[in-house]
Structure 1
Amino acid sequence: FLETGQWQPGAEWGLADWAAIWGETVVATAGDFMALMAEKPAAGTRARYPQMLVRGASRVRAATAAPTVRRRHAQSGDVVVEGFCQSYAEFFAVEDYALRYRRFDGSLSAPVSRAAFVSCDAVTVLPYDPSRDRVLLVEQFRVGAMARGDPQPWLLEAIAGRIDPGESPDQTARREALEEAGLSLGDLLVVAGYYPSPGVKTEFLYSYVALCDLPDGVAGTFGLASEAEDIRGHVLGFDEFMALVASGEINNAPLLLTALWLSRARDRLRAG
Structure 2
Amino acid sequence: MKKEFEIIKRDVMYDGFYQMEKYYIKHTLFGGGWSGEFTRELFRRTNCVAVLLYDPVADKVVLIEQFRIGAAITVNTERAWLVEIVGGAIDEGETAEEVARRESQEEAGCDILELTLINRFYTTPGGSSELISLFYGRVDSTQVGGIHGLDHEDEDILVYAVPFDEVYRMLEVGEIESGIAIVAIQWLALHRESLREGQS
Q: Which has the higher strand share?
A: 2
2:15 match: 89
In 2, the alpha carbon distance for the partners of 1:158 and 1:73 equals 39
In 2, the alpha carbon distance for the partners of 1:149 and 1:236 equals 25
Matches within 5 A, 1:259-270: 259-270=185-196
Aligned pair partner of 1:165 in 69, 92, 106: 92
Unmatched 5+ residue regions in structure 2? Answer: none
Matches within 5 A, 1:16-35: none
2:117 match: 190
User: Greater relative contact order: 1 or 2 (C-alpha under 8 angstroms, separation 6 or more)?
Assistant: 2
Q: Which amino acid aligns with 1:161?
A: G
8 Å CA contact 2:84, 2:181 repeated in 1:
yes
- Let me know the Cα RMSD of the aligned residues: 1.2
- SS of the residue aligned with 1:173? helix
- Please say if 1:232 is aligned against 2:173: no
In 2, the alpha carbon distance for the partners of 1:73 and 1:252 equals 36
- SS of the residue aligned with 1:178? helix
2:37 match: 111
Q: Kindly state the Cα deviation for residue 141 of structure 1 after the two structures are TM-superposed.
A: 0.3
State which structure, 1 or 2, has the greater radius of gyration over its C-alpha atoms: 1
Q: Kindly state the Cα deviation for residue 73 of structure 1 after the two structures are TM-superposed.
A: 6.9
- Please say if 1:211 is aligned against 2:141: no
Q: Which amino acid aligns with 2:120?
A: G
In 2, the alpha carbon distance for the partners of 1:206 and 1:81 equals 27
Give the TM-score taking structure 1 as reference length: 0.70
Q: Kindly state the Cα deviation for residue 94 of structure 1 after the two structures are TM-superposed.
A: 0.8
Q: Which has the higher helix share?
A: 1
- Please say if 1:253 is aligned against 2:179: yes
Aligned pair partner of 1:132 in 52, 58, 61: 58
Question: What is the total number of aligned residue pairs between the two structures?
Answer: 197
After superposition, the C-alpha distances for 1:206-240 in whole angstroms (9 at most, x for unaligned) are 1111111011x421101001111100101100100
8 Å CA contact 2:2, 2:28 repeated in 1:
no
Q: Which amino acid aligns with 2:177?
A: N
Check 1:171–1:101 CA distance in 2 against 1; reply closer, same or farther (3 A cut).
Answer: same
Q: Kindly state the Cα deviation for residue 119 of structure 1 after the two structures are TM-superposed.
A: 1.1
Q: Kindly state the Cα deviation for residue 84 of structure 1 after the two structures are TM-superposed.
A: 1.5
Check 1:111–1:174 CA distance in 2 against 1; reply closer, same or farther (3 A cut).
Answer: same
Q: Which amino acid aligns with 1:188?
A: L
After superposition, the C-alpha distances for 1:150-185 in whole angstroms (9 at most, x for unaligned) are 431100000010011111101100000110011110
8 Å CA contact 2:44, 2:128 repeated in 1:
yes
Identity rate, percent: 34
1:28 match: none
In 2, the alpha carbon distance for the partners of 1:113 and 1:164 equals 29
* 4+ aligned runs moved over 4 Å, structure 1: none
In 2, the alpha carbon distance for the partners of 1:236 and 1:137 equals 7
- SS of the residue aligned with 2:165? helix
1:176 match: 103
